[in-house]
Amino acid sequence: QVKLVESGGGLAQPGGSLTLSCTASGDDFRRYNMDWYRQSPGKQREWVAMISTGGSTKVAEAVKGRFTISRDNARNTIYLQMNNLKPEDTAVYYCNRPQGAHWGQGTQVTVSS
């Protein structure tokens, strides 16, 4: 069983920045690719970014050039650096591994002027 704890969300101005963290416990973090997702009211959960066990990354087109995913295996943590935030980035952000069965509480990001 893996426990995932997301943090770092909050209120940001359009054009502002936030850094999200996701800490995993209960398994060998280094064995898994990890993903960030987000979900807004009335919308399906959306994939945002991925980082492989080796550090390769992919991001969704909607956040390309603005968001950066990284990982620190020693701390069992992945990060999402969010720059140039837009109102449409408003969502609850979650982390998970591919096909992960257990979801954390997520962290709320609100982008508003």
Question: How high is the pLDDT of residue 97?
Answer: 94
Judged against a pLDDT cut of 90, whether residue 111 lies above it is answered with yes
Q: Rounded to an integer, what distance in angstroms lies between the CA atom of residue 70 and that of residue 98? A: 16
What pLDDT score was predicted for residue 27? 79
Residue 1 scores a pLDDT above 80? no
Tokens of 96: 């998970």
| Residue 99 structure tokens | 């096909």
pLDDT tens track for 2-51 = 899 999 999 999 999 999 999 999 878 899 999 999 999 999 999 999 99
Count the neighbouring beta carbons within 10 Å of the beta carbon of residue 43.
Answer: 9
Note the pLDDT tens digit of each residue in 48-96: 999 999 999 999 999 999 999 999 999 999 999 999 999 999 999 999 9
CA angle, 47 then 48 then 51, to 5°: 105
Residue 52 to residue 90: CA distance in whole angstroms: 25
The pLDDT assigned to 59 comes to 98
